[in-house]
Amino acid sequence: MAQAIQDAGGWIGFDGFMNHALYTPGLGYYAHGSTKFGTMPYTVQGGVKVAGSDFVTSPEITPLFGWTLAKQVMQALDVTGTNEVWEFGAGSGALALQVLQAFKAQGVALPRYTIVDISSSLRARQQATLAEFAAQVRWVDALPGDMRGVVLGNEVLDAMPVKLLARVSTIWHERGVVVAAQDANGDAVFGWQDRATELRPPVEVMGDHDFLTEIHPQGESFVRTLGEKLTAGAVFLIDYGFPEAEYYHPQRHMGTVMCHQAHQLDEDPLSRVGQKDITAHVNFTGVALAGNEAGLDVLGYCNQARFLMNCGFLEHLQAATQPVRVMAQKLIMEHEMGELFKVIGFYKGEPWQAIGFEMGDKTHKL
C-alpha cells in the first residue's frame, strides 16, 4: 500500500486505498485465504488466532434465505424466457447452494449457474460447497459480450470502493490517504489528507456544518455494465443502504464507511489494512439511475423483510425447527436486517410484476 501511495505522488483517493486494501493479489482482504463468512468469530488459543470468521451474511444465517429467493428467481427465469443464473461475489457459495437445492426440490431444471468472483481463495471454498452441483456450476473471471438470465448480487455493492467527500468549513474536499509515519517495525502508518475538489454529492446537503459522505462511481459503473451486457432477464441486488434523500440527510454527517473483523465493527479503515473488510452503505437512488442510464428498468424496491415475506419466507419459517426460526427471524426483524437491508430489482424487456415487490414496493422513494 505504501508503495502504491508513493507511486501516486504521495496521496491516493480513498477509493484507490479501498481497492488496494481489499483486492491486491495475495495481500488484499478478499485476495488471501482467511475465512471471511460465517456465524462464529475468531478465537485466540495460546496466543494463536484459530478458526472463525469476520462477518455473517444472510445465506450463512439460514438456508431459508436462498430457498425463499429461489422462488423469485424461478419466476424471473420463466417470465424472461431465460435459463441461467449469474451470481456476483458468491462468498462462501452458500447462496448458490441454497438456490440450486430449491430448484432441485421443485424439480425445476437449471442448466447453468455462473459465478463471477475474483477471489481465488473464495472460489476454492465455493467449489467445495457446490460439489453436488458441479455439472451445473461454472466460474468466470470476466463477463461475455452479452448476457441472458437472472443476475444475483447479495452484499456486493457495499464492498465496491467509494470516494470520500468531506465538507470542512463549508469547502468540499476529496479525502484521501497518505503515509503519515512509520511504526517501531518500520511499517507505514497511514493518515488522512483532504484536497479541494469539484466533486459533489448528487444532491445538495443542507446546512453549513462539517459533513463526511461517500459517492459511488464504481458501484454505479458496475450496474451500468450489467445494463449494457444484459440482453434479456432480470437483476436482483440485495444490500444495506438508503435512498438518496436519506443517504445525504444533514444528520448523517459522519459517513457510512465501516470495517468488519471477528464480528466486531470499527470505523478506522486505515488500521490493520488487508486484515479486515471495508464497506460503505449503498445509495439506492444512484443504483436505480445507473441502471436506467444503461437500459434497465426498475422492477421494484423494498426492504428485505417485505421482499422475503412476499416470496413465501413465513411459510418456510413455520415449517422450520425452533432453533432455525430464532436465527431466521433476524432477516426480517426491523432492528436486525429487515429494514436496513433493501432489495432492488431491474428487468430488460417487457414489464412484469415480480412477486418480491407485490406488497410494500417503495420505488417512489428512490
Cα 330 from Cα 64, distance rounded (Å): 11
Cα 61 from Cα 179, distance rounded (Å): 39
Cα 199 from Cα 193, distance rounded (Å): 16
The C-alpha cell 413455520 sits at: 318
Cell of 286: 444512484
Cα 254 from Cα 236, distance rounded (Å): 29
The C-alpha cell 481497492 sits at: 19
Residue 341 β-bridge partners: 240
Cα 191 from Cα 181, distance rounded (Å): 8
The tens place of each residue's pLDDT in the chain, 366 residues long, gives 888 899 999 999 999 999 999 998 888 888 876 665 555 555 555 555 555 566 589 999 999 999 999 999 999 999 999 999 999 999 999 999 999 999 999 999 899 999 998 777 788 899 999 999 999 999 998 888 999 999 999 999 999 999 999 999 999 999 999 998 888 887 889 999 999 999 999 999 999 999 999 999 999 999 999 999 999 999 999 999 999 999 999 999 999 999 988 778 888 999 999 899 999 999 999 999 999 999 999 999 999 999 999 999 999 999 899 999 999 999 999 999 999 999 999 999 999 999 999 999 999 999
SS3 label, residue 6:
helix
pLDDT at position 230, please?
Answer: 98
| Domain boundaries of the chain, sorted by first residue | 2-365
Q: Does domain 2-365 have CATH number 3.40.50.300?
A: no
How distant, in Å, are the alpha carbons of 4, 47, 61, 159 from that of 225?
27, 46, 30, 17
pLDDT at position 56, please?
Answer: 80
How distant, in Å, are the alpha carbons of 200, 218, 223, 289 from that of 156?
24, 12, 11, 18
Distance of CA 340 to the CA centre of its chain: 13
Cα 223 from Cα 288, distance rounded (Å): 9
pLDDT at position 184, please?
Answer: 80
Cα 155 from Cα 285, distance rounded (Å): 17
Helix (H) / strand (E) element for 124: namely helix 120-129
Letter for the amino acid at 330?
A: K
Cell of 61: 444465517
Cα 74 from Cα 71, distance rounded (Å): 5
Comparing C-alpha atoms, which of 77, 89, 103, 115 is closest to residue 22?
89
Classify residue 272 as left (phi > 0), alpha (psi -120 to 50) or beta: left
Cα 167 from Cα 210, distance rounded (Å): 5
> Contact 130/93 with Cβ under 8 angstroms?
yes
Cα 287 from Cα 20, distance rounded (Å): 23
SS3 label, residue 144:
coil
Letter for the amino acid at 76?
A: A
